[in-house]
Chains A and B, each alone.
Chain A
Amino acid sequence: MRRGPEGAQSRAAWYFLAPALLLIGVFFFLPVVASLLLSVTDFDIYAIGDPSLARFVGATNYANLLHNPTFWTAVENTFYFALVGGPLTVAVSLAAALLVNARAVRLRGLFRTIYFTPFVTTLVAIAVVWRYLYHPRYGLLNYLLGHLGIGPIDWLGDPHWAMPAIIVMAIWKNFGYNMLIFIAGLQSIPEELYEAARIDGANAWRRFRHVTIPQLAPTFLFVGVVTMIGYFQLFAEPYVMTGGGPLRATTSLVLFMYEEGFRWWRMGNAAAIAFVLFVIILAWTLIQLRVQRERA
């Protein structure tokens, strides 16, 4: 142990850090590592009673996944939700930020609050509400669309419409958060840049294209990464609204993992699914970071 003020500070630091590191180590990092181990065993309902029954099976769980059509459906659905829903959410967020931030607007604070409220609401409750909004006969959505001459759509009962319906709800629920971050980004763009562009004769569109968008690049990266990481973890929406159906059209990877692990107690298999999810999220995040770096 070092003595003197330096040593005292170092000792205090570890005392201060100890509770957090212990909790995060034991209840997060340790399970993550254990998850990798679990994924190479045949841990099942019998092993829950007596863990010594679990045997090492190598990559069998991963190999089985590759031959499991439900797994591929879940991968496809997860990418569908993330790759369609993610960019749409970012686009709607940016549009909302531009509207709320427009110079001519009064009551900005009010609009900002209204747009943000969906984000703080409880997802499960909102999913319950939207299930009724999407009701083919009595739902508000079909009623309103009926006025536009669009025939009743069985939103959550039709395999083609169930995922779009969940995406629309997710956009509604989540755009407010990204909007706030875009507003902060917009407000940090120096006014002189716009003035210089104006003097050069740039119209509103060109100012948006050549000043706003490039200046928002770091914001785009942050919003993009956070949104995509969140969207790859789709779970509660299909759990509550569709149960993963119809015809598995909304079964996501996390929902599939939950069913395998906590409904059928095939935990080895479920751990393999969890790791596939991890690899997908990690790879996608790295791609986004690299693309951003190359553009800069």
Chain B
Amino acid sequence: MATSAEPVVRHNAAMAAVMKAILYGLLVGGAIVALLPTVWMISASFMKTGEANSYPPHFLPHAPTLEHYRTLFSRLSLGRYLGNSALVSVAVTVLSLTVNSLAGYALAKLRFRGRDRLYRSLALGLVIPVQVSMLPLFLLMKSLHLVNTYWGVIIPGMASIFGIFLIRQYALSIPDDLLDAARVDGASELRVYRSVVLPVIAPILATLAIWTFLATWNDFMWPLIILSDERRFTLPVALASLSGEHVQDTELMMAGSVVTVLPVLITFLILQRYYVAGIMLGSVKE
């Protein structure tokens, strides 16, 4: 007879195998759910007109076509919206990175009176929903003649409390000795920032750059409010407007969605290392 321990071990091994199968089943199932809408969007964008509305549904185009992309770029001037989105997103990213990093570093490492009070006042701003500011902001933009301009979209994004805090958090870890050494060598404060601070905080700048670019690209409500002339629309605003007019053209709308999503998706996939690291940093140290 076998010893009494043996069946237990075998039983445990079998349990472990079953658990592992369940675990992978759930993981793969979750991955399918996470990917399916995006994959179907891409697939349907290559279907012939009407094919996406067939029963039973086609998962893959039977005769792939680029006609919808052609229509979008020739007749519906999607190229223009793509350009608008790129312009606005790049401008906000570059400008806000400069503004936020200067402020974040100053809050973290420079000594001045009222620093703590300023920090607390800014923190207060984090709980105010941005929608509260939108109505007067629109009137302000109107009086500055910035309604329906790119600047009207860009300016409110040029400084962000979240961005300042993210950089401050990171800059706190810069050793004071490092800064003082540069000062003793006669470097001005601006020079200290440029040649000592910026290289040290480069990783968090990369994170914030990606974060800002994606957030600006995806932003909808403010551009919807401030842009009235179609020629200035960003992609999400244009897509929302097109989807009202072309509600029956499933394949065309899927192609439009692909053009809107693909730039951010590719940016994320290439740079995800920096992006993910920053999200974890921003939350854990909170």
Name A residues whose Cβ lies closer than 8 Å to a Cβ of B: 5-6, 8-10, 12-14, 16-17, 19-21, 23-24, 26-32, 34-35, 38, 48, 51, 96, 99-100, 102, 104-105, 111-118, 120-126, 128-133, 135, 137-140, 143, 172, 176-177, 180-181, 183-185, 188, 219, 222-223, 229, 232-233, 235-236, 239-240, 254, 257-258, 261-262, 267, 270-271, 274-275, 277-278, 281-282, 285
Whether B220 is near chain A, meaning CB under 8 Å from some CB there, is yes
Q: Which residue of A lies closest to B273 (CB)?
A: A109
A35 to B193 Cα, complex, angstroms: 37
Besides A20-B159, A24-B122, A30-B140, 6 new A-B residue pairs in contact (Cβ under 8 A), listed by A number: A8-B189, A16-B105, A31-B132, A99-B23, A121-B261, A129-B254
Which of B5-13, B60-68, B198-206, B275-283 lines the interface with chain A?
B275-283
Whether B128 is near chain A, meaning CB under 8 Å from some CB there, is yes
A1 to B115 Cα, complex, angstroms: 17
A66 to B258 Cα, complex, angstroms: 43
- Whether the Cβ atoms of B261 and A122 lie closer than 8 Å is yes
> Could you list some 25 contacts between A and B, CB below 8 A?
A16-B193, A19-B102, A20-B164, A23-B155, A28-B133, A28-B137, A29-B125, A31-B137, A31-B140, A51-B139, A105-B27, A115-B30, A116-B276, A120-B268, A121-B264, A126-B257, A129-B40, A129-B41, A133-B40, A137-B53, A184-B283, A219-B283, A233-B131, A262-B138, A278-B132
Contacts of B149 in A (CB 8 A): none
Interface of A is mostly: helix
Whether B214 is near chain A, meaning CB under 8 Å from some CB there, is yes
Contacts of A177 in B (CB 8 A): 279
- Whether the Cβ atoms of B102 and A16 lie closer than 8 Å is yes
- Whether the Cβ atoms of B31 and A114 lie closer than 8 Å is yes
Q: Which one, A12, A20, A123, A180, contacts B279 given CB within 8 A? A: A180
Q: Which one, B30, B98, B159, contacts A24 given CB within 8 A? A: B159
Q: How far is the CB of B274 from chain A (nearest CB, A)?
A: 13
Contacts of A9 in B (CB 8 A): 110-112, 189
Whether B83 is near chain A, meaning CB under 8 Å from some CB there, is no
Whether B253 is near chain A, meaning CB under 8 Å from some CB there, is yes
A21 to B37 Cα, complex, angstroms: 42
- Whether the Cβ atoms of B31 and A122 lie closer than 8 Å is no
Whether B1 is near chain A, meaning CB under 8 Å from some CB there, is no
A154 to B134 Cα, complex, angstroms: 34
Given A38-B136, A138-B53, are A120 and B214 neighbors across the interface (CB < 8 Å)? yes
